[in-house]
Each structure stands twice: as C-alpha cells, then as structure tokens.
Amino acid sequence: MMQASLGSSGRRSHPLTPYLFLIPACIVLGTFVIYPALKAIYLSFTNFNMIREAEFVGLANYINLWRDPFFWAALKNTLLYMIVVVPVLVIAPIFLASLVNKHIPGIAFIRAAIYLPVITSLVVSGLIWKWVYEEQGILNYVLLATGVTDNPVAFLTDPANALFSVMAVTIWSGMGYYMVIYLAGLQAIPRHLYEVAEVEGVSAWQQMLYITIPLLRPSIAVVTVMSSIAAMKVFEEVYVMTQGGPMDSTKTLVYYIYESAFTEFEMGYASAIGVVLFLLTLVFSLINLRFLREKS
C-alpha cells in the first residue's frame, strides 16, 4: 500500500513526460480540428471564395442566409429528416434486438446479415437503393404485384417522395448498428425478471413495455442522440441518389454546404451554414458528452 502510493507520486519521471506523450495527438487535432473550427467561424463573417483574400463582411452571410429560400428549404428538409428517421432508428432496432436476442440456430449468421448494411459504404448503399427504386425496378414490381399501388411510384424523381426514399436508405444503413447497441443493453437485463413475468402470465407485449423498454432507457438515450447527430449530417445518400433534387426536395444542410462551398465556391457563405449546423448538433453533442462523463 505504502509502496504503491510512493510509486505513483514519489518517483515521478521527468515533468515533461506527460506532454511528450500528448504532443503528436495535439498537433494533429490542433491542425485538423481546433484551428479549422476557429477558422470556419471566422470565415463565416467573410466573403472568402478561395480566389480573393477574405474580406470581413460582418453579419452579411447570416443576413443573406435568413433571406435565402434555399437555406430554409435545406433546414426544413434536415429537420424533417430527423423527425422521421430518428424515431424509426430508436424504436425499430429495439424490436430487432429482442428478435435476435435468443440462442436459436443460425443466430450469429442472422445478426451478421442484419449488420451488413452498416459496413457497406453509403455511396454503395445509395447506388443499391437507386437500382431498387428504379421505375421498372424490383420494388415497384412488388408494390404493383401486391396491389399496393396501381402505377409505378416515382421514388426519386417525384419531389413529394424523394426525401422519404432517401430516408429509407439512412434507416436501412443504420438499423443494424443501433440493434447491436440494444443487444448489449438487453444482455444486461437480469433474466429472472422475464422468468417471473412468464410465471405470472404477463404477455410478451407487456414484458416489452414494462421490463425491456424501461430497463433499456440508457441505451435508448444513447441511440437517440447518436441517430439525431447522424441524421443532421446526412450527405452521401443525397449526393449519390438525387444530388439534392428534384426541385431541391432532398437538399439537406450538409448538401447545401457542399454545394455552396465546392460548386459555387462561396466559402464564407458555406461556413455560415456550417456554423448553423454546428449549433444544431451542439445540443445533442452536449447531451452525448454527459453520457461520456457519466461513464468515465
């Protein structure tokens, strides 16, 4: 005991040692995260466009944002994205997880198969679904054959459908990941609770409602935060499937940042949209931070 405390406080190595360990990481994070973050906030008050020197323009970018119908459309699309995608990604994986939380034959394979879309890059996922969504494609065939619709659905070419069609891809790609998080949560729930419920004749649905969901609350909170942040940053699906169209119906905030910065070269303006995105995600990140703190 004595020796242990001597070891940690008495025989300290050189006072610079901790900093030497930290330097490489600090250089990289400082160069590629901290400095760019401050620079981005600065750029949002300038008219920077990569060609001319950045000139300070005050709040002009933010005032223009306020008046820009495309910005409001992108913000609306992003919020709608969250409103639809987040509840699905929070709730559906709970059922998925309880479905595969059984040691039945083939379960490892089944779990892996559900996880497959998670490891597939979003560019490829977007392409796969673009093919599935084809006007004469497989999904339309199924819908027509089962009589759900009388005419082929224009999934990606009708402004009324496109955003929802893209959302489905985000859900498809994310479900497996959140399922695994819930699986971890489920395995922490004492089995005897279900055994008692079984003996008492509590139905499966009620077990879900009164045992599983309340005890999964920490995982549910984590999934809510993670899926919200992810939904706010959606880009690849949009880029590959619709390029923000038709008629800007799938233009999300990140897509608009990309477009403003790298096709219009309005870097200052794009930075201002970036700051708005940052503020929106901040709320969720702060909650996320609390989870991390609690854990450490």
The interface with another protein within residues 177-216 (CB under 8 A) comprises 177, 180-181, 183-185, 188, 204
Contacts (CB under 8 A) with another protein, residues 43-72: 43, 50
Q: Count residues contacting another protein (CB under 8 A)? A: 103
Which CB sits closer to another protein, 70 or 172?
Answer: 172
Is the peptide bond prior to 246 cis by the omega test (within 30 degrees of 0)?
yes
Query: Residue 246, class by beta-carbon neighbours within 10 Å (0-12 exposed, 13-18 middle, 19+ buried)?
Result: middle
Give the one residue of 211, 233, 246, 248 binding another protein; rule: CB under 8 A.
233
Q: Which is nearer to another protein, 50 or 83 (CB)?
A: 50
| Span from 56-64, 71-79, 114-122, 205-213 in contact with another protein (CB under 8 A) | 114-122
For position 32 contacting another protein by CB under 8 A, the verdict is yes
Give the contact letters, 115-134, x = binds to another protein (CB under 8 A), - = no.
xxx-xxxxxx--xxx-xx-x
Provide the minimum distance between the beta carbon of 114 and another protein in the complex, in angstroms, as a whole number.
5
Tell me the two tokens of residue 155. 């999934």
| Smaller CB separation from another protein, 60 or 127 | 127
When asked if residue 289 is in the footprint of another protein (CB under 8 A), the reply is yes
